[in-house]
Amino acid sequence: MNEPRRRGPIVRLIIASWQALDFTRRLLLNLLFLIVVLLLLLAMLGSGRLAPLQSRTTLVFAPQGRLVEQYSCDPFSRSLARAAHSEDCSEVRLRDALRALDAARTDARIERVAVFLDDLQPSGFASLREIAAKLAALRAAGKQVIAYGEGYSQGQYLLAAQANEIYLDPMSPSGVMLDGLAAYRQYYREALQDKLGVDMHLFKVGTYKSAAEPYVLDAASPAAKEADLYWMGDVWQRLLDDIGRARGLTPAQLQHYADTLPQQVVAARGDLAQLALQQKLVTALKTRDEVDALLAERGVADPDADGGFRQVGLDTYLQHMDGALPQTDARPQVAVVVAEGEISGGIQPPGRIGGDSTAALLRQARDDDAVKAVVLRVNSPGGEVFASEQIRREVAALKQAGKPVVVSMGDVAASGGYWISMDADRIYANPSTITGSIGIFGLFPTIDRTLGKLGVHTDGVATARYAGAFDITRPLDPGVAATVQAVIEKGYRDFTGKVAKARGKRVEQIDAVAQGRVWSGAQARQRGLVDAFGGLDDAIADAAARAKLGAREHWQVRFLEADATTFSQWLSDLMQSRAGLALLRTTGAADWLLASRLHGLSQTAPLRFAQAALDRRGPPRVTALAYCFCEPR
């Protein structure tokens, strides 16, 4: 029997060194883990204490990220984004911004509001006009509003225009960009059909239903251009009116500035900041340090605070407001259900509308005896027809249960977004809301010619004439095409019929303003698709009045949303503390964790819906879409 081979001294040295290295690694990781736990526990113990809000405080309104109706990221991911200074998951809820500005108007501790908009990614103009109205109300109440920016997009400038004083960095790389609204898209017909051999079969009803045109045309249709220019012109003119009224300028002056911007920039020798000053769009040119010094001089100097002046940020101010609320409240409720994003079937995460998940929230409101009325806040370009119908049915069921339903439209409530809105007792919209687009389409690709270019062909047998008819590797049978078109036309009849019934009009009247045409909120009200102008607060007050809840102090507002997990919320609370944020930034963990949690969508909306339909198992079904590409840039 052979004896085992003895290891040489070099091998033994290598093994011993590796074991020592492994032990050291595990020891350091365990120590790091213990330090992290200790810091997080200390952060948790200290996170519940807020410093008192002192008099003569400046509210710093510096929203970071996208303006949204509903968070699309969980609390932990938002905290990671904040720690990593990342734009991913950086979001500001519109309702939080509105209630903070509204509270500051009557809060004696708030002396002024400093508005910093460089990190705000504006959404639609309906939301921005709501914030602008709150800033204007602050100014009218005697609270000084001071705005500063390294540059202003036209959405940012709408907000800055409401300030008493507007400052722009003298080295601004963009100045004040009032350049108008545009809706340009890429068109893929030549690439898909001629180059790749992909045939995109479009089925639609509605002369102006243009959402899928990029897949079957090489340029926008005349009808699409006509409709887009009509509603965009209305929104643009309202933007000019709002800015002009706030700055003492005429819309004609602002239009001239937009139309002659290149010539004026050349005349200003490329100095965009001086151009904005010459055009009276800003009060003066100052750096951020100079603005901070101004705020310290007019307010209360505080060397320990950012910028050197006594201040409170938006998030902290909201914590002060929420800390004053009672822990329990037995008053009857007006429930608000947010429907934001594309409409898809099934259960969807926050920031998307799910036929099952959004309907479940409405059903929850119906079954809850404490809820006496419901406001559906809609900010959606539409999506799947069947999912939209699921939600509409729950709106109808709420009304049948005796609970009033009022819709508040946000930036966009078009196509499927209008479908879920139409049965409400009353529909509110901003004049700059984008709505309408009452039409249906379906999109189905076939790739038989694509495969043919590669020498791949499909053949076989079937037991019935149309078996396998939805196989995308085969040419689309004319009989199948006629069937799909019939289904789409039936969907349009359903759409216009339901709108007619809900709005108390004849189908012919609705068809005249439908056909897939998009309207501004003002144009929609003129055509009977919207009842009144107003924001979320107006809709909530209307719902409470319909439920006969009495004076405002006799009822409460409750947002019905899918709750974050307890663990995620706990981590978020810890990460929002100074110790937690410092830890993440020091170790670089925030960037790594955030990258591991995020993923994007690479397809455009119609192709996503088409792919989802093709991926479904079971019998073939036609996925009709009520979707609108109607957000200007």
DSSP 342-397: -EESS---TTSEEHHHHHHHHHHHHH-TTEEEEEEEEEE-EEEHHHHHHHHHHHHH
Catalytic positions: 209, 415
Extract the tokens encoding 377.
């806040």
- Concatenating the DSSP letter of every residue in 271-287 gives -HHHHHHHTTSSSEE--
pLDDT at 616: 43
Q: Which domains does the chain have, with CATH numbers?
A: 57-182+223-323 (3.90.226.10), 333-562+604-627 (3.90.226.10)
Block means of pLDDT (10 residues each) for the chain, length 633 residues? 58 74 79 69 57 94 93 74 68 95 96 96 93 97 97 97 98 94 93 94 91 94 95 97 97 96 95 97 98 96 93 94 71 97 93 94 97 98 95 98 98 96 98 96 92 94 92 94 93 96 96 96 98 97 98 96 56 48 46 42 48 45 65 66
Rounded to 10 deg, the angle between the 94-106 and 314-323 helix axes is 70
Question: Per DSSP, what are the bridge partners of residue 335?
Answer: 374, 558
pLDDT at 254: 97
pLDDT at 549: 97
pTM, full prediction: 0.83
Extract the tokens encoding 416.
């499927």
pLDDT at 312: 96
- C-alpha span between 354 and 341 (Å, rounded): 9
pLDDT at 7: 59
Q: Where are the alpha helices (DSSP H) in 9-161?
A: 9-47, 75-84, 94-106, 125-140, 154-160
Extract the tokens encoding 631.
């957000």
